[in-house]
Amino acid sequence: MTGEDRAAADRDRMKELEEERVRQRLVAVERQSEKQSSTQRLLGIGLLIALVLSAVAAFTPHLLAVGGDDVDLGNVSAESFILTDQDGVVRGRWTVDDGGNSRIAVLDRQGRTRLSLSVLSGGSPGMSFSNANGTSRAGLALLPDESVQLVFADGSGQPRTLVGLSRADEGYLMFADPAGEPQINIGLDGSGAPAIVLPEEGTAEETGEGGS
C-alpha cells in the first residue's frame, strides 16, 4: 500500500469517527429533548388537575343551585321518588297526588304493589298488605275520629275480621260472613264491661263475672 493509499484510508476512518460522534450527539440531544417534553407534559397535566380541583372546590356548593339560591345539601326536594333495583325494575314509589294524599308503594320484582303506606290529606295514616293478585289482605288505619282499626280480608278482598279501639277506648272484635255482614261482635266498653252482640238476633248479651 502506497503512502497515498494509507492517507486516504486514514481520512476515511477519521470521517467515519466524526460521523459517529455526530450521530451520538444527535441521539443525546433527542433523548434530552424527549425528557424535557415529558417533564413539560407532566407539569402541564399537574397544572390542569390543580385548576380543575380548585374549580370544583369553589363551585361544588352551587352545582345544584336553583333560582340562584344555595342548596342545602342535607335536604333533597322532589315531587316524587322512584326506587329501582339493579336491573332497572321499579320497586318503590313515593308520590303526593293532586288531593294532597301522600303514598309510599313497595313493589315486588313483578311490579305488583305488596305494601302501601299512606297519609291522607286530612292527616289520617294507614297501611295495607296485598297479595300477588293485588288484593288487599290486611290493613291498619288511624281514622279521623281517632279510632284505630286492624282489618283482615279473605282472598277476594272481603273484610272478615276486624279488631278496633274507639275514641272512647272501647275495644271490639268483629267477625263477618263471606258477604261481609257482621255475625259476631265481642267488645269491652270504656269502663271494661264485656259484651257480645249477635246481629242476626238483634240482641246484646252482657257478660259479668261468672258464679258457681
Query: Is 157 exposed, middle or buried, given 0-12, 13-18 or 19+ CB atoms closer than 10 A?
Result: middle
Q: pTM of this prediction?
A: 0.57
Q: Is the pLDDT at 137 greater than 80, yes or no? A: yes
User: How many other C-beta atoms can be found within 10 angstroms of the C-beta atom of residue 209?
Assistant: 5
Residue 155 DSSP one-character state: T
Lowest mean pLDDT among 73-82, 96-105, 119-128: 73-82
Query: Above 60 in pLDDT, residue 209?
Result: no
Q: Which residue has the higher pLDDT, 202 or 87?
A: 87
Each residue's pLDDT tens digit, 22-45: 666 665 656 665 555 666 666 666
Q: Which of 46-60, 74-88, 171-185 has the lowest mean pLDDT?
A: 46-60
Rounded Cα distance between 141 and 147, Å, is 8
